Structure 1
Amino acid sequence: MSTAPTVDVHAHVLLPETEALVAGLPGLAEAKALDARRNGPAALAVSGPMVRERIPRLTDPAVRLAAMDAQGVDIQLVSPSPSHYHYWADEETAEKVYRLANEATAAHCSAAPDRLRGLGLVPLQHPDHTVRALDHALGQGLLGVEISSHAPGRELSDPAFEPFWTRAEETGALVFLHPFGCTLDERLDRWYLSNTVGQPVENAVALSHLIFSGVLDRHPGLKLIAAHGGGYLPTHIGRSDHAWSTRSDAGAACAHLPSSYLGRLYFDSLVHDPHVLRELVRTAGADRVLLGSDFPFDMGTEDPVGALRAAGLPDADFHAVRGGNAYALLRKD
């Protein structure tokens, strides 16, 4: 694995054509108002200029590749900015959104197909469309899709998603779990708690739904990558194990200890703490952690390899996380 390329599985692309498609449509203003309430005015005042400054890296493949070279990254798995989910959209609009997003992401990656691989979108708010959307993404040459931690009124444990999980498992598609927005709403509207607390919470809740509902029992071959190191779940999985062992309601739907499912999932390395990264490797296994940077946003890292090196992992584990694990996934696909 020491000879494998360095692979960053958490990198985003901004798709102006998708935003142009939904501009002015009913529902967009309400969704933006909810996002504003969840984040608060101080966060929005910082985020706007931050994103604008990064637009060249988010949209121009040449600028992206130069930044990758500076970071020592050989390959990026590129996913749309989560702001493109638009889970408020009706069925007709949602189909237009995912088709345009899939095609635009594929076009962006086609500028350097040996270095840029892509993920598309599916409309979780319309479960009946998710299989079709996944197939469309794969048909564009993408490796899978990116999803949020929930859709309005639906958790990832919802039986309506069973055909989607089945199709993702059948095709070997990658599913990148990346939350957008936290349902704790205005409780997190100061000090950017909407992200610093909200994202890890949403990751932990979504993964817990997949574990405790039995989704991972029914689909053991699912290739799911959790952003942000899986949030709070991997470092607090002992509490889940205890509940599963002592309460009939907690253990009713999944067959094994919750901690045992961590070895069936993949996690990116973006935890911002070398001690937490070591614990993630311990709980999930060195073969289940993948390099991630959240390129190019400010809550990511400009030096993902350096952040990984700071964890002081054994050489074999370091190289597995740096690229060996992800390269094996990408090559299989």
Structure 2
Amino acid sequence: MRQSFGERFDVPDGYLNTASIGIPSASAGEAVAAAVAGWRSGAGRAGEYDEYVERARAGFAALVGLGADRVATGPAVSALVGLVAAALPAGARVLVAGGEFTSVTWPFAAQADRGVTVTEVDLAQVGPRAAEFDLVAVSVVQSADGRLVDLDGLRAARGSGTRVLLDATQSLGWLDADLSWADAVVAAGYKWLLSPRGVAWMAVGPELAATPVAAGWFAGADRWAQIYGLPMTLAPDARRLDTSPAWYCHVGAAVALPWLAGLDRSAVHTHCVGLADSFRAGLGMEPAGSAIVSVTRDGAGERLAAAGVVSAARAGAARLAFHLYNTEADVARALDALTP
């Protein structure tokens, strides 16, 4: 059991795979286990889970720097991005990064029959070219290799009328950056936010259209009074985009997100990036300011696995991720595996 930032983590030595699956705190894991035990014994009551949904929503809002009334919840990033894609006018022009994670790009590509075009450019060109497009959809930190997008360039383009959707799945929880200016910020919970898989959130600005194509009872203005029949009366805020929640996922997220939001963001950033840059230095690589490191050496993944280091294979490289429960001992183990 490791202690980090006031929480306990039952994380194994050499676990450097948060970019794939984050390890929950003991508190979050115990909360989910208790909820499942209540389910098994018939103690759970549907209305009681609303409290957990709202705690998690508030935690996400605090991490992004917005009010909870701006945050919608759903099952996955692609489902939430799809609400924005469905609302684009016919013929809209969308800019994305080449090699971007498909949950960000495919919802827009699926609108091709309405004349929506999606243009891929190198990540370094996303900021400079953003003003040429109606909307930019891009990850703050690239899943494959940890590269950061030019947030300043995107913010400037937004000032000239371009809408900006940011996927913060690989950044929120460790990156100390202001994202509150974006038109939409979306993130899945099961990586750096240390929540169960099956829940995601999207903060939506007042100027960005999003269509509640999966509207159901949970999006109602008075959800428990509107579970049958018409007319449809949706919530007046971002909750109108909600879909029915995976209860036990929100139980864990209701512990994880408020805790993460209450940490010193600068200290978390320094810890995570410091470990990653220490690892990079040991391999003779320049610092990159990212908690994700991509290693292209032949056989890197196999050598890491043989040494008990858990990483991921992405885009032909071994991907390592350093979060708040990792230590210099994890860095040393990975370096021992990769250096003579």
TM-score by length of 1: 0.27
Higher relative contact order (CA 8 A, sep 6+): 2
| TM-score, normalising length: structure 2 | 0.27
Q: Name the larger-Rg structure.
A: 2
